[in-house]
A and B are shown apart, each in its own frame.
Chain A
Amino acid sequence: MSEKLSREEVLKIAKLARLRLEEEEIEGLRTDLNNILNYIDKLSELDTSDIEPTSHALDVVNVFREDVAKKGLSEEDVFRNAPESEFSHFKVPRVIE
C-alpha cells in the first residue's frame, strides 16, 4: 500500500475545501483517504487512451428558456433561514478591514 497523501497535502486539501481539521482528525483522515485512493488505483489496470469520457449518462444538451421576469420568493421567505440578515441582505462578518 502506497502512501499517496502526506500530512501537508491533507492540510492543503482541507484548505481548498474550506474545512478546518482538528489535530486529532488529521491522521485518521489521512489513513482513510490513502486507503480509498489505493482502492481507486484499480482503475490504472485499464487502458482508456481511446475512450471518450462520459459526464452524463444520457446525452444532455443546453437547455434555454425565455428571459422573462417571474415572481420569485418574498423577501421574508428568502431570508427566513438566514443566520443573520439586515436591510434585505445576508449579513456576514467584516470582509474589508
Chain B
Amino acid sequence: MDLLTLNINEVLELLESKKISAYELNKFYLDRIQRFDGQLDSFLALNENALNEARLIDDKRVKGENLPKYAGVPIALKDNIITKDLYTTCSSKILENFNPPYDSTVSSLLKENGFIVLGKVNMDEFAMGSSTETSYYKKTKNPWDLERVPGGSSGGAAVCVAAGLAPISLGSDTGGSIRQPAALCGVCGFKPTYGLVSRYGLVAFASSLDQIGPFSRDIEDSAHLLNIVGKYDPKDSTSIKTVEKDYTKGINNDIRDKKIGIPKEYFEGGIDSDVLKCVNGAIDFYKSQGAEIVEVSMPHTEYAIAVYYIIATAEASSNLARYDGVRYTFRSEAENLIDMYESTRSKGFGKEVKRRIMLGTYVLSAGYYDAYYLKAQKVRSLIKKDFMDAFEKVDVLLAPTSPHTAFKFGEKMNDPVSMYLSDIFTISLNLFGGCGVSIPCGFDNKGLPVGFQLLGNYFEEEKVINFAKIYQNNTNWHKMLPEKFKK
C-alpha cells in the first residue's frame, strides 16, 4: 500500500475499516518530515500535539463513538493562517514567536471536522514574492531539483504536498500564490472565488485580492477541502452568503460540447517551448473528449501586472501599518515612540516588504492617488470586463499557469520587475475575483513539472473541478513523485 498516492476517499476508507489508525497515518507523515525536511525546509513549526490528537480519535473509533467525517486526516497550513497556540509568523521577523491566542475560521473549521494540523509551512514574507526566497527564516527547495525555487508565495504548502510530507495543505492566493507554486512543484492548487472562503484569521496582505485555497494531488481532495472551508462567515464582512454545495458531487459530468476558451493573449511570446508543448497537450486532450475549443481575446491582459502592483501594494501599505512594535512580539527599543515605530519596522521587515510598503505609500500619497491608484482601479474594471465577456461565450478558460518552470535560487531576486512578471498568467484572475486551478500536465526537458490553469467565473468551482477531474482520470502527472522522496 502506497499512502503517498492515495486520495482522501481512499484514506478515509482505510481509517474507517481500521486498516490504518489515525496515529499510524499521522506518524507516517511526521516521520517523512523528520527524514526529508532537512533537505526541503518546508516546515516552520510542527504541531507537537498531532499524535495525541490522533490517539484520541483512534480511542473514540475503537469505542464506536461518532466521529467527524475527516477524523484523523493530516493537513499543513501556510504560515499566514492563524492557528491557536501554534506559532504563526508570516515568515517575517516582525512576527517572530507570535503565538496566536485564537484560531482563524479555516483552522477552526478544519479542527471541527477532524483534520489534524501537522504544522505551519514556509512562504514569502507576508506572501510578497513568487519564489519563497523572501522568507526571513529559510529557503524552501523545489523537490524536483533542490537548486531551484518552489515558486511562491505558498512555496512550503506546495512542496510539502509534492514531496509527500503532507497529503494536503492550505495556502493563500493574492496574485497567483497558490497556482504558481503548484505548477512549479507538480501538484494541484486551487484559488476559490473571492468571498467563498473566510479570511478571518488570514494575515491581511491585499484585502481586495487575498483568498485562501487548497493544495492536493487529486483535484477531488481540493473539492473535499472546499466543502469544509467554503462557508459564509459573519466574522469576515467580505464573505459571501452562497448556497452550500458539495463540490465532490459535480465530478465526472460529461464535457462533450462544453466550451473551453483559449485566451490568445496568454499564448503570445515569452513562454518556454516545453511549457507550451505540455499545455497544448492538455488542450488536445479536451478536444479528444469532445469539448469545443474556442479562441477568445482578453485584450487588457498585458496591463494586469501594472494594475496589480499598484492595488496590492497600496492595500499592503495600509494593512501592514499595524506592525508598529506595540502589540506583536518584535520591538526594537528606542528613546521615543516615533523612533520605536521606525526602528521596529525597519529591522522587522525584509527588503521586498519594505519595497512594497514604499510603493504602496507613494501611489496613495497626495497628488499621486488619481494617477496611480484610481487609474489602476479603472483598468481593473477593464480586466474584469474581459473575463465577463469571455464567460458569455465559454464555460472555462485554459492557459499556462507560469511562462516557465522552476528557476534557480537568486535568479530573479535582484530584479523585482522580472520576479513580478513570473505571475503574468495568474494575476488577472485575482483582479477579476473568479476561481481557478493549476493542474500538472507534464515535465520539461530538465524534468521539472509544468502546470496549466483552468479559470472559471464567479462561484463556478464545480465546473472547474469537473474539467480538472476528467483530465486527471486520464493522466498520471498528479501521481508522480520526485525520485529522492519516493520511498
Is A90 a contact partner of B326 (Cβ separation < 8 A)? yes
Is B381 a contact partner of A52 (Cβ separation < 8 A)? yes
A55 at the interface (CB under 8 A from B): yes
Is A57 a contact partner of B431 (Cβ separation < 8 A)? yes
CB distance from B32 to the nearest CB of A (A): 31
A95 to B343, alpha carbons, bound, how many Å? 16
B67 at the interface (CB under 8 A from A): no
A84 to B326, alpha carbons, bound, how many Å? 8
Q: Mark B385-400, 1 if CB is under 8 A from A, else 0.
A: 0000000000000000
Q: Of all chain B residues, which has the CB nearest A51?
A: B378
CB distance from B247 to the nearest CB of A (A): 19
A21 to B358, alpha carbons, bound, how many Å? 11
Is B357 a contact partner of A17 (Cβ separation < 8 A)? yes
Is A17 a contact partner of B317 (Cβ separation < 8 A)? yes
| Of the residues B305, B340, B354, contact of A93 by C-beta under 8 Å | B340
Residues of chain B within 8 A (CB-CB) of A65 are 234
Is B195 a contact partner of A94 (Cβ separation < 8 A)? no
B327 at the interface (CB under 8 A from A): yes
A13 to B354, alpha carbons, bound, how many Å? 11
Max chain B Cβ within 10 angstroms of own Cβ: one of A48, A55, A83? A83
CB distance from B82 to the nearest CB of A (A): 12
B285 at the interface (CB under 8 A from A): no
| Of the residues A58, A77, A81, contact of B194 by C-beta under 8 Å | A58
CB distance from B265 to the nearest CB of A (A): 14
Is A19 a contact partner of B358 (Cβ separation < 8 A)? yes
Residues of B within 8 A of A (CB-CB), count: 70
Residues of chain B within 8 A (CB-CB) of A42 are 302-303, 306
| Of the residues B195, B337, B433, contact of A92 by C-beta under 8 Å | B337
Residues of chain A within 8 A (CB-CB) of B234 are 65
Is A19 a contact partner of B306 (Cβ separation < 8 A)? no
Is B101 a contact partner of A80 (Cβ separation < 8 A)? yes
Is A81 a contact partner of B328 (Cβ separation < 8 A)? yes
Is B416 a contact partner of A35 (Cβ separation < 8 A)? yes
A38 to B208, alpha carbons, bound, how many Å? 24
Is A93 a contact partner of B335 (Cβ separation < 8 A)? yes
Q: Mark A52-88, 1 if CB is under 8 A from B, else 0.
A: 1111111010010100000001100110111110000
Is A53 a contact partner of B374 (Cβ separation < 8 A)? yes
Interface residues of A in 10-52 (CB under 8 A from B): 10, 13-14, 16-22, 29, 32-33, 35-37, 39-44, 46, 48, 51-52
Residues of A within 8 A of B (CB-CB), count: 50
Stretch at the interface among B114-122, B166-174, B178-186, B359-367: B359-367
A67 to B374, alpha carbons, bound, how many Å? 34
Q: A16-B361, A42-B306, A81-B99 are in contact. Are A32 and B194 (CB under 8 A)?
A: no
For the residues of A in contact with B, the DSSP-based class is loop
CB distance from B473 to the nearest CB of A (A): 32
A41 to B358, alpha carbons, bound, how many Å? 17
Q: A48-B375, A55-B377, A60-B238 are in contact. Are A93 and B336 (CB under 8 A)?
A: yes
Is A83 a contact partner of B341 (Cβ separation < 8 A)? no
A39 to B101, alpha carbons, bound, how many Å? 42
Q: Of all chain B residues, which has the CB nearest A9?
A: B362
Is B327 a contact partner of A81 (Cβ separation < 8 A)? yes
A44 to B302, alpha carbons, bound, how many Å? 13
Residues of chain A within 8 A (CB-CB) of B359 are 33, 36-37
Q: Mark B85-101, 1 if CB is under 8 A from A, else 0.
A: 00000000000001111
A90 to B431, alpha carbons, bound, how many Å? 38
Is A17 a contact partner of B358 (Cβ separation < 8 A)? yes
CB distance from B208 to the nearest CB of A (A): 5
Is A13 a contact partner of B346 (Cβ separation < 8 A)? no
Residues of chain A within 8 A (CB-CB) of B434 are 57
CB distance from A77 to the nearest CB of B (A): 4
B478 at the interface (CB under 8 A from A): no
Known: A39-B417, A80-B101, A81-B328. 12 other contacts (CB 8 A): A36-B417, A40-B309, A43-B376, A43-B379, A46-B379, A51-B378, A51-B381, A54-B377, A57-B384, A57-B431, A73-B101, A81-B329
Cross-chain pairs A/B with CB under 8 angstroms, 6 sampled: A5-B362, A13-B365, A39-B305, A43-B307, A65-B234, A84-B331
Closest 8 CB pairs of A and B: A57-B433, A53-B377, A77-B101, A83-B331, A48-B378, A63-B237, A20-B342, A17-B361
